[in-house]
Amino acid sequence: MPFDYIPPLLRASEKRIVLLVLDGLGGLSIEPGGPTELEAAKTPNMDRLASEGMLGQTIPIRPGISPGSGPAHLALFGYDPIQYEIGRGVLESNGVGLHVGPGDVAARGNFCTLDANGNIVDRRAGRISSQQAAPLVERLKTISLPGLSTEVSLVKEYRFAVVLRGEGLQADIDDTDPQRTGVPPLPAVARTPESESTADLFNQWIAKAFEVLSDDEKANGLTLRGFSTDPNLPSFQSSYGLNPVCISVYPMYRGVSRLVGMKVVEFDGEQPEDEFAAAAEVWNEHDFFFIHIKKTDSKGEDGDFEGKAKIIEGVDAALPTLLALNPDVLIITGDHSTPALLKSHSWHPVPFMLWAPATVRPDDQTKFGERPCARGSLGNFTALDTIPLALAHAGRLEKFGA
């Protein structure tokens, strides 16, 4: 349980919480004294909410730690990623709807290009499209191993997920991606004696995969990483008494949401307004709405400062649709920072806004941005505190002790 002291305090409530996550929201100035991406963006709606609400900054994992997307979201959901380690294989598999049960082992796969000697010449197989990868994944699905079942699913472009289902499979296995070209993929090597037989099974699967892929020009090889099994996380429902739903375009975020027991909804479109419309569709069926916006992070990774600011402006422009639903508690934040300046995830604290008209103690900040957040009344705090704060402002927690 993320917080042992919370379940005994839970109180029934009709109040609804929205956690709107702009992936990689935190940024940096590209010139001394200049604005960050969020500060450069014109965000009249968020600025109004900031005036009425409270600001602060979250530390995603620990100070100085740049988180991956999985751990950063787990932290936002209150599950300390230092305590709850979850492999990329499980995250990706869940993201594309492949369940990973106890005893199963999942891995994330990359197609790659091998030369005549079996050395890697392109670790991402020329970044083939999803369309190009789909028939290759079909070939991988034909592979069978004695005594167990396997499932493979396309993730996106050159990425796929594979799950071996058996009894007592163990996942302490090193990645087969050598992280460079000019050398062959590594074999699956067990880190513990208990994982050796599972590593053998994966090596058999890999050998058969190389056979079925051998005549493809670009994707004639593959690497596997993030071997992992069911983390058996306590559910959001049992931890917080919430009936949560995930609204996300990208598989990874759906995966991590499923791991904590969120329902994941299907919807058309990829824009913020499409996501907010999806929230409206299920508004009466849930009381916690995790809405994930991916493109802030993508633009940050691309080093596209203005592009990231535009994405934020797009979310701001769509916000009235979400506000029309009358959430009782609205949190707008990121899972981590992805400053365009750095073109990567970073460890910088993440802007955080909590708006809850009935119970906020407003600070005197009037804009949503890194500087105002650094001066906000919530101060700097761990992302793990996000859900407990939301529960409190939703009137969902009884007093602790008499």
Residue 210 lies near its own copies (rule: CB under 8 A): no
Quote the least distance from Cβ 203 to its own copies, whole Å.
23
Phi/psi of residue 256, nearest 5 degrees:
-70, -30
Interaction mask 39-58, its own copies, x per CB under 8 A? -------------x----x-
Candidates 254, 294, 299, 348: give the one binding its own copies (CB under 8 A): 348
Interaction mask 66-85, its own copies, x per CB under 8 A? xxxxxxx--------xx--x
Report 134-163 residues binding its own copies (CB under 8 A).
none
Residue 177 lies near its own copies (rule: CB under 8 A): no
- Angle among Cα 229, 232, 234 to the nearest 5 degrees reads 155
Tell me the torsion sign for CA atoms 258, 263, 266, 270: negative
Residue 97 lies near its own copies (rule: CB under 8 A): no
Report 286-345 residues binding its own copies (CB under 8 A).
339, 342, 344-345
Report 218-247 residues binding its own copies (CB under 8 A).
226
Q: Where are the beta strands (DSSP E) in 268-349?
A: 288-293, 329-333
Residue 24 lies near its own copies (rule: CB under 8 A): no
Quote the least distance from Cβ 356 to its own copies, whole Å.
11
Tell me the torsion sign for CA atoms 380, 328, 283, 267: negative
| DSSP-derived pairing of the beta strands 17-22 and 329-333 | parallel
Which residues are CB-neighbours of 371 under 8 A, at least 6 positions away?
39
Of 97-105, 147-155, 320-328, 388-396, which segment contacts its own copies by CB under 8 A? 388-396
Quote the least distance from Cβ 374 to its own copies, whole Å.
4
Candidates 7, 187, 261, 379: give the one binding its own copies (CB under 8 A): 379
**Nearest CB to its own copies, comparing residues 164 and 390:** 390
Which residues are CB-neighbours of 313 under 8 A, at least 6 positions away?
41, 42, 43
d(Cα 236, Cα 77) in Å, to the nearest integer?
A: 8
Closest CA to 91 of 226, 195, 187: 226
Q: How many residues bind its own copies (CB under 8 A)?
A: 68
Quote the least distance from Cβ 267 to its own copies, whole Å.
26
> Three-state SS for 397?
strand
Bridge partner residues of 351 (DSSP): 57
Residue 370 tokens, joined: 């890194």
Quote the least distance from Cβ 348 to its own copies, whole Å.
5
Report 351-370 residues binding its own copies (CB under 8 A).
359-364, 370
| DSSP-derived pairing of the beta strands 149-156 and 17-22 | unpaired
Residue 180 lies near its own copies (rule: CB under 8 A): no
d(Cα 307, Cα 44) in Å, to the nearest integer?
A: 18
Quote the least distance from Cβ 146 to its own copies, whole Å.
31
Closest CA to 266 of 256, 285, 251, 252: 251
Of 112-120, 131-139, 308-316, 374-382, which segment contacts its own copies by CB under 8 A? 374-382
Most distant CA atoms of the chain, gap in Å: 74
Closest CA to 73 of 62, 60, 64, 54: 60
Binding site for its own copies (CB under 8 A): 3-5, 9, 28-29, 32-33, 36, 52, 57, 61-72, 81-82, 85-86, 88, 91, 108, 226, 339, 342, 344-349, 359-364, 370-371, 374-381, 385, 388-393, 397-402
